[in-house]
Chain A
Amino acid sequence: MEIYILLGFVLILSIYLGLELISKVPSTLHTPLMSGANAISGIALVGALVLGSDTQLQQVLAFLAVMFASINVFGGYLVTNRMLKMFKKK
């Protein structure tokens, strides 16, 4: 139980930190921020990598989780980069 309290602590602090960091984003960056954040949520890939694979079902689930998280990671970062490159100053 101790570990969950500790990790819960990390969770709360990270959310709070995120709210503080992002609270003043100019509207120009709303879309890139969202798609960049979306790429970060592909961090689920790290979780997918360590899944057990004792049964056939688990192997299929692990494979699918890895694949979809990878789409999210690669697609998310590339499209964000593509978008940000378009933003130019006068």
Chain B
Amino acid sequence: MSFFENISSIQNIIYIFSSILFISGIKMLGKEDTAVRGNFLSALAMFIAVSVTFINVINPILVFVGIGIGAIIGSLIALKVKMTSIPEMVALFNGFGGLATFFIAWSEFNSIPSNNFQYLLVMITTYIGGVTFSGSVIAYGKLSETLKVEKSSIITKLFTTLFYISIIYLLYSIFITKIFSPGFDFYTILLIFTLLGGVGFVIPIGGGDMPVVISLLNSFSGIAAAFAGLLLLNNVLIVAGSLVGASGLILTIIMAKAMNRSIGNILFVGYASSASASKSEETGEVKPINVSDAYLILENASSVLVIPGYGMAVAQAQHVVRELGELLEANGTEVRYGIHPVAGRMPGHMNVLLAEANVPYDVLVEPEDVNPSMDTVDVAVVIGANDVVNPSATEEPGSPIYGMPIIEVHNARTIFVLKRSMSSGFAGVQNPLFFKENTRMLFGDAKESIGGLVTEFKE
């Protein structure tokens, strides 16, 4: 055995060790008590895998400069980002991972793939990596609200068409170009179509469906890395990439289930076309309430359930919400927070915001835990949530959201709905909750309204 073969075997053994650390790391990341250590283990695994790869580096200066710049940019973003901007930041990082694999595949195409299977892998890796990148950039734009495109606009339709064309062109690149080599630079065209295709993939998907899209792009970034691993014959890339692919897929499925819709419906149909306009005409009047009356009711409540939604994130109300919660507890009231899996713009969005505001995670409850005992809740305070508390989902078989698991606040004794106006939620469905006998609407900015309640309590 020559010296180099020895090195390569040792390297592979260390890759296996690193894979084990990744597996334990991601497992521990799934439990509250071990999550911090899990993240550390996976970082250690990364460090080991990268260090041992330095043996093969051809151009060390290039690599060190690249890592250095990447480390500075990455660390700055990670340490500066506000917790409310986490969804768009995760989208952006997903995109960077995809972009890296896109460049890897591109570079490998120029090393001239030696066999047909490698050729196929180059095309697929290019496509997944590129779609992950440009799709994530669009997701970033939508989440940070810098990009606003109507679903019915001509631009959306154009890009959606380009998405389908890009798939056809991918198939052409994989199967035809190897047999009849085209007289033009087909690969550069694939690169362009891939990037346009990613835009077209995400652009028609609306704000409320973003948790699904982010999860799916997260999964794609892992799958792209795993395919790059097949291409480069590197086992740690395959293992780590597959784990990410699997975890993203699980989150995607959880999100889709929480909306009672199929992934296909979310990606390619959307609410607007699946919903044949809700028939139910809402009659009755909404009953507004002011801050001081709301205070009197809350003061006498013994059990309060807070249901936050995207509106709480927009109003940045998480800190006053926590303050109100503490004052209520000091007053002898039991305070819990009902978190719907798809509340907000990414999986677990509300949990992160409340954690930032110092709300302990053991008072956060999931719908199935709180629904059976909803009739013992004195006041349910809905803050900027809409579709996730819409009783049509359980009461109205014709409704587009019928069957979606919701937090059944309409069974609570009193419901406060904090809302800016009477506009409907993302699904475009009117919410009968607002017209219920025991519902009181507290109109206005959530942060101001809750701030008002806090002041009342302090006086």
A residues sitting closer than 8 Å to B (CB atoms) are: 1, 3-4, 7-8, 10-11, 14-19, 21-55, 57-59, 61-90
Q: Which residues of A contact B73 (CB under 8 A)?
A: 71, 75
Contact B247 A88 (CB under 8 A): no
Measured CB to CB, the nearest residue on chain B to A76 is B93
Contact A40 B244 (CB under 8 A): yes
Q: Which residues of A contact B254 (CB under 8 A)?
A: 30
CB distance from A14 to the nearest CB of B (A): 3
CA distance A63 to B103 in the complex (A): 9
Contact A14 B243 (CB under 8 A): yes
CA distance A7 to B234 in the complex (A): 8
Contact A51 B108 (CB under 8 A): yes
**B5 within 8 Å of A by Cβ?**
no
Contact A47 B238 (CB under 8 A): no
Among B56, B65, B245, B360, which residue has its beta carbon within 8 angstroms of that of A49?
B56
Contact B348 A41 (CB under 8 A): no
Among A14, A47, A85, which residue has its beta carbon within 8 angstroms of that of B239?
A14
**Which secondary structure dominates chain A's binding surface?**
helix
What are some 25 contacts across the A-B interface (CB < 8 A)?
A: A11-B226, A11-B229, A22-B250, A31-B346, A34-B247, A34-B346, A37-B26, A38-B94, A41-B97, A41-B241, A42-B46, A44-B97, A44-B100, A46-B49, A52-B58, A54-B111, A66-B67, A79-B77, A79-B81, A81-B40, A83-B355, A84-B35, A84-B39, A88-B355, A88-B361
Pick the most buried of A3, A24, A28, A40: most chain B CB atoms within 10 A of its CB. A40
> 1/0 per residue B337-363: CB within 8 Å of A?
001010000111101100110101111
B residues sitting closer than 8 Å to A (CB atoms) are: 22-23, 25-27, 29-32, 35-36, 38-40, 42-43, 46, 49-50, 53-54, 56-59, 62-63, 65-67, 69-71, 73-75, 77-79, 81, 83, 86, 89-90, 93-94, 96-97, 99-101, 103-104, 106-108, 110-111, 115, 117, 214-215, 218, 221-222, 224-226, 228-251, 254, 339, 341, 346-349, 351-352, 355-356, 358, 360-364, 366
Q: Which residues of A contact B30 (CB under 8 A)?
A: 21-22, 24-26, 29, 33
Tally of A-B residue pairs with Cβ under 8 A?
A: 373
Measured CB to CB, the nearest residue on chain A to B355 is A86
CA distance A11 to B243 in the complex (A): 9
Contact A28 B108 (CB under 8 A): no
Contact A34 B218 (CB under 8 A): yes
Contact A32 B90 (CB under 8 A): no
CB distance from A74 to the nearest CB of B (A): 3
Contact A46 B50 (CB under 8 A): yes
* In the complex with contacts A22-B26, A53-B59, A84-B35, A27-B366 CB distance below 8 A: yes
CA distance A82 to B81 in the complex (A): 10
Measured CB to CB, the nearest residue on chain B to A50 is B56
CA distance A40 to B246 in the complex (A): 12
Contact A63 B349 (CB under 8 A): no
Among B62, B111, B366, which residue has its beta carbon within 8 angstroms of that of A52?
B111
Contact A61 B107 (CB under 8 A): yes
